[in-house]
Chains A and B, each alone.
Chain A
Amino acid sequence: MTDAVRYRVRHETAYAYGGNVMHSRQLLHLTPRIAPWQTCLAHAIDLDPLPASRRDESDAFGNTVTRLEFDRPHERLEVVATMEVELKARPGIDPATTEPWERVRDDLSYTGKSLAPRKLDVARYRMQSPYVRVKHVFERYAQDCFPAGQPILVGADALMRKLHADFTYAPGETGIATPLMRIFETRRGVCQDYAHLMIACLRSFGLAARYVSGYLRTAPAAGAEALVGADASHAWLAVYCPPFGWVELDPTNGIRAGLDHVALAWGRDFGDVSPLRGVIVGGGAHQPSVRVTVEPIASLS
């Protein structure tokens, strides 16, 4: 039984602009998130060329965001994030002991009474957000997972399995601009789409669900099956399951997030935590090349 794993992660992004970029601003979410089960042992973001200014700050969701400004002409940009992270096994939760989903919903809904700051934090993740339109069809799709009185994690597990079974992992067919409804209709997508869809289903029941951006280990542990989505950044989600709090589920692989999942940042959806986004002045159309490797450097029992 493995209790903890240490990983070395290397995330390289290279932009080859089709011309001189005169000015650029970039926003990075490339710093591991600190959590009870995740410790950051070392971390660096190397930039070439060097920016005119760099600031590392905390965003509204508690993630570290790196803001960059480049003010000299450049034709390419390389961003290399390296990190060493230690993951601890998370305590096992018996789904049957989580609260009935209706109680979770009602407990987060407005009643005119005061709301504990902890619950206010959870309430951020219940509503429609830019990439997660909450629609009636999602509620219908997930209806059979949430019968009356169903413990919330039992329902969420069932929904995850349903999505995993119904949808086909199809890299390259969708982009961040692909509407959720389209993915729902074609039943094909990538980790981002699986996560957004499951979040939309959960929120359509008034439940809280947040998007997690991170990485998967590249090569499977001895004897384990290879996971999907390991060659790039990965995404999954967390659902709020009192009395235990947030539980992370990976619908792309149909599993709970555990010792294979390194978390970078979380927010309402992809838009809050995209690993790199920015605006350049000049340059041309281009596709960045991205390489991610996640290697275990130690396994601790």
Chain B
Amino acid sequence: MAADSLEFYATDAHRYDELRDRTGALRPHWRPLIERLTADGARAARSGVELTQRLIVENGVTYNVYADPQGKDRPWVLDPLPMILPAAEWRQIEAGVAQRARLFDALLGDLYGAQQTLTSGAVPAELPFGHPNFLWPCHGMTPPNGQWLHVYAVDLARSPEGSWWVLADRTQTPSGNGYALENRQIVARVLPELIRELGVRPLNAFFANLRERLLAFAPEGETPLAVVLTPGSFNETYFEHAYLARQLGLPLVEGSDLTVRGDTVYLKTLTGLRRVHSILRRLDDDFCDPVELRADSALGVPGLLAAARAGRVMLANALGSGVLESAAWLGFMPGAAEQLLGEKLTLPSVATWWCGERPALEHVIANLDRLVIKPAFPSQRFEPVFGKHLSATQRQRLIERLRARPHAYVAQERLDLSQAPVWRTGETPGFAARSLGIRVYAIRTANGFEVMPGGLARIAADTRVEIVSTQRGGGSKDVWVLGTSADEPQQLATSARFRVRHDDLPSRLVENLYWFGRYAERCEDKVRLLRATLAVRADPEVWRLAKEASEHFGVVRADPRIAVALFDPENPIGLTADLQRLVYCATEVRSRLSTEHWAAIGTLNRESQETTAALGEVVPPDPREALDRLLAPLVALSGLALDDMTQDDGWLLLVLGRRIERLQFLAMLVSQRLNASTLASQGEVEWLLDIAGSTITYRMRYLSMPRLGPALDLLVRDGSNPRALAFQVLAIEELLQRLSKSLGAASDRAEASLAQSLQPLLDVDLGTLEGEGHGAQAARSAFATSLDSLAAAAGRLSDLLSSRHFSHVKSDIHTVAA
């Protein structure tokens, strides 16, 4: 069996094989995994793989943009087989990574301070001075406790002889540790027993310590507040930002959620400004403050640098730390380590030459075939060039470029990456070989740098690919570090004051929650309206009025093709446009949504995209089927809103959004029908009940054929029918009271105005509406007017909530220069 599965796992004499030694025998630390998968047979393993892929889709793990409806969100690719590292080997990596983190911290301090590594000649001045992330406004600054680096990552690869080498360092806003955690959680569901049996070291303590670290900067006596700063939902790794924020229990904020007054950073929350002590940032250095850094950055926080300069905020990492992200530094690190730490570097880096040194340039030109040429600074945008792939002319041109501006280029020796098994699907499932590299993370704790016992393995898309990169369509793996009893426990004691999870809701988040609620309800209402309308097509009389109502709401466009009329994405108030808005709002509040919640959004987005994509096809989508497929996740959202969220202020506004929307929709729908000149027929009443989801309630309560009077009683006045207008008014009153209590604000007349508008609807004798005569028509028309004023009152309430709670969300920022 084992032989079968390994049939496609080819060995490669030029690479280190993680799985097998030179004699072809399985290395001991891989044996339990391989045996498990082969003993259970390929079928069990395949179901594991399928589970992995399903979990990825369900959890909505993506690498690209999710929010952009036109954008291609690429699902994260995770191979279910982990990369396994034995304890002894890990200890060496761990020590080397921690040492490197210490070195980079010290080097940042030197570059932004005395610059002794530059005057001594250990490091070329060209490297910091030519790097766009060397921020001169930060020169002379000292971050809190003199600590520049808090989060660090390094890309490692194993050479054919079996030792680990540094490929690149990440010192600015290292990404991927959120994905690493998500990978672990998924793989742990696929291979739970193995993780236990092998004693795979857990990752939780690492993240708990990171959180602790961020909160620890708050002075005694203040409630600590740390935030995760993201460029926003259009960033390629936004999923990770939201995920990490949720795992760390910290608010996910954008630049506009923060403001600096004096030298203090504040979060704009529903209850006012709250001091922010620490920022885990995912926003690049030069975008962080338009006052002193890039003036064209709309993503930053004006004054952030002033707050950092005053030592009033801890930034992880300090501004300007991106200067060390360049392969050009690699060759100078041993010298810097000797000067700054008095130590020898234990982790070697891949042989690298910075061409700005004359002898290095000559060496590079003489050995081009063996080398990869890379930019020395991130401002130069070109892909790595493999010397051996160049034609004679290309080669000559490259040499000219190197000679013209040598300091802008770096040459690296090519490293044949090691290979490890991945699971291949298809007709003959089994193991296949892929080259890989691992990214390892370190954070600063009170006890120095701590290395995460795991990491993110990145695998090449193809066996022969020489570069591993998520951008290039490779995949990822969980990294298992095998433990010994001495390795646990590692989590530091949590201070009591950090245990409280407080309710710091950025105003922008709350606004998006409110609109998330409104759009979720609006989409559901529109789907119900369209479904009920399509259902009465056979009855020409009802159909005419129902169609009119749908047109009145703008849900259908004039188009003979019914699917286009319903789903045309160009219709600005059509269902598809509203679904897109709903997905957008959901993306913005993603850090607050559970996995189940997010799965419903994912389904909705997929269904909507598939339907619109099929509009132009020969056989257009069946509208009723498409609507049914949309209704299921919308109903799920409605249930999740009630049962699956913490009932804090953000939740209150989400539910308020739903209630207000439902109130407005139903009031307008009924009013529109009552304004028609004729008394509603039985078919029309049934249609109304269908939209309002109250057909069954009606039957149970009245045991008669639907008539207008009782239907209005059920849809308007019934305080126990969750779809009725009176129910919405009562619910809104209660929600508003809870909100003002929670915000400590005085309750006001907003709810009173709603109740006042409802009153005329309660006082009417509904019997008077049920006639063909002029009097009955007048009564219906008066009732419709009352419904309109109720809908208008709901609109005013919505405006009031916006101006009261969200008005400061829109920060209208301009940069000026003279």
Contacts and interface: CB of A to CB of B under 8 A. Distances in A.
A281 B812 contact: yes
A128 B291 contact: no
B379 interface: yes
Contact of A288 (B121, B130, B818): B818
Nearest to A286: B816
A284 B816 CA distance: 11
B121 A114 contact: yes
Interface string B144-175: 00000000000000000000000000000000
Q: Find the residue from B124, B136, B139, B140 having the highest chain A CB count within 10 A.
A: B136
Given A61-B136, A276-B817, A280-B814, A114 B119 contact: yes
A291 B259 CA distance: 33
Contacts of A128: 130, 377, 379
A124 B126 CA distance: 8
Interface in B291-306: 291-292, 294-295, 302-303, 306
A2 interface: no
Given A27-B291, A282-B812, A288-B818, A115 B136 contact: no
Interface string A254-280: 000000000000011001101111111
B356 interface: yes
B810 to A, nearest CB: 10
Interface stretch (A104-112, A151-159, A222-230): A104-112
Interface string B129-140: 110100011011
A298 to B, nearest CB: 29
A274 B817 contact: yes
B262 interface: yes
Q: Find the residue from A13, A279, A286 having the highest chain B CB count within 10 A.
A: A279
Contacts of A123: 118, 125-126, 129
A279 B125 contact: no
B120 interface: yes
B811 interface: yes
B249 to A, nearest CB: 30
Given A71-B261, A128-B130, A279 B290 contact: yes
A276 B295 CA distance: 12
A71 B357 CA distance: 51
B378 to A, nearest CB: 12
B399 to A, nearest CB: 14
A136 interface: yes
Contacts of A176: 817
A110 B291 contact: no
Interface residues of B, number: 42
B582 to A, nearest CB: 30
A286 to B, nearest CB: 8
Interface in B234-266: 259, 261-262
B357 A136 contact: no
Contacts of B121: 110-115
Interface in B326-360: 356-358
B23 interface: no
A284 B115 CA distance: 43
A25 B814 CA distance: 11
B272 to A, nearest CB: 15
Contacts of B25: none
A60 interface: yes
A92 interface: no
Given A59-B137, A110-B356, A279-B813, A53 B262 contact: yes
A139 interface: yes
Contact of A25 (B139, B302, B357): B302
Interface string B273-315: 0000000000000000011101100000011001000000000
Nearest to B306: A67
A142 B337 CA distance: 41
B303 A124 contact: no
Contacts of A40: none
A116 interface: yes
A13 B126 contact: no
A184 B818 CA distance: 23
Nearest to A52: B262
A126 B306 CA distance: 28
Nearest to B814: A280
A194 B377 CA distance: 26
Contact of B126 (A53, A126, A278): A126
Interface string B732-759: 0000000000000000000000000000
Nearest to A61: B136
Given A69-B262, A113-B121, A60 B136 contact: yes
Contacts of B814: 279-280, 283-285
B405 interface: yes
A290 interface: yes
A280 B813 contact: yes
A115 B303 contact: no
Contacts of B70: none
A120 B259 CA distance: 37
A117 interface: yes
B815 interface: yes
B132 A124 contact: no
Interface in B779-818: 811-818
Nearest to B135: A60
A115 B356 contact: no
Contact of B118 (A27, A115, A139): A115
26 contacts: A25-B302, A59-B137, A69-B306, A109-B407, A110-B121, A111-B121, A112-B121, A112-B357, A115-B118, A116-B119, A117-B119, A123-B118, A127-B130, A274-B817, A275-B818, A277-B815, A278-B817, A279-B290, A279-B813, A279-B815, A280-B813, A281-B302, A281-B812, A281-B813, A286-B816, A290-B818
Given A123-B129, A127-B126, A268-B136, 9 more contacts: A15-B818, A25-B306, A60-B136, A111-B121, A136-B405, A176-B817, A274-B817, A279-B814, A280-B813
Interface of B: 115, 118-121, 124-126, 129-130, 132, 136-137, 139-140, 259, 261-262, 290-292, 294-295, 302-303, 306, 356-358, 377, 379, 404-405, 407, 811-818
Interface of A: 13, 15, 23, 25, 27, 52-53, 59-61, 67, 69, 71, 109-117, 120, 123-124, 126-128, 130, 134, 136, 139, 176, 267-268, 271-272, 274-286, 288, 290
8 closest Cβ pairs, A-B complex: A110-B124, A127-B130, A60-B139, A279-B302, A123-B125, A60-B136, A288-B818, A276-B818
